[in-house]
Amino acid sequence: MEEYKAEYYCYIRCSTIQQSYNRQYKQLLDFCHKENIKINPANIYSEKRTGKNQDRPKFKELVQLLLDREAKGIHCCLCLIELSRMSRSYQLTKDTWNTLTSAGVDIVVTSFPLLDTRKKDNGAVNMMLTDIVFAVLNYLTEQELNEKADRCNNGREVAKNKGVKFGRKELTFEDLPKEFIDVMKSATGTETKTALLDSINGKLMRMNKKPLSRGTFYNYLELYKGGAK
């Protein structure tokens, strides 16, 4: 059997900035070690973006790079830890998969060995299996996302029925910073709003507190006028 040769690339994605790449990196390194694959660190693309759409600059850049490399006759292989890293949308995943494989790019989903387009020994049989597994997994990925959204919406509805309020808490007079109230109480009424804001922020910064923006100051001013005794 002819030795498989390709430039390897990998795409790692987390949905939120709070999540870590660690698990995906470990799985990638384990896979490369097992397969005796060497990936240039520059060929590992990662970003923290939702998979619901294609608003992912790094992924777009990688896809275009793979297409350009193949067009130049340089064979490439894209490694994904999970199919869902490509996208959470059935159609987007299908379109991207077909675009890359049609151009000659191989794709390996390391957590699911049947999704490996490098395996061409059995020709049509492997292609058929890959297509079936891809369709099923891709469908389940989108269903999982839809079910998660439904659970969140249902949870919010139940919470609302119990009186839980979402969004920003409405400010009251009691929420005004002490530094703001102190300055307003000592004001003579002749000061400009800019002078009042500067005086308040001076007090806040001396207390190592965050200064007020002009918009916040005006909101506080309205609250103060409505609630001052």
The pLDDT of residue 85: 87
- CATH code given to domain 7-146: 3.40.50.1390
Strands (E), the chain: 7-14, 44-48, 76-80, 106-109
Note the pLDDT tens digit of each residue in 67-113.
Answer: 999 999 999 999 999 888 888 777 888 888 889 999 999 999 998 88
Domain with CATH 3.40.50.1390 in the chain: 7-146
CA distance 108 to 3: 17
Please say if the pLDDT value at position 125 is more than 50: no
- What's the pTM value of the predicted model, to 2 decimals? 0.57
Please say if the pLDDT value at position 166 is more than 60: no
Nearest in space to 191 (alpha carbons), one of 221, 227, 229: 221
DSSP conformation class of 213: P
CA distance 26 to 44: 13
How high is the mean pLDDT of the chain?
Answer: 80
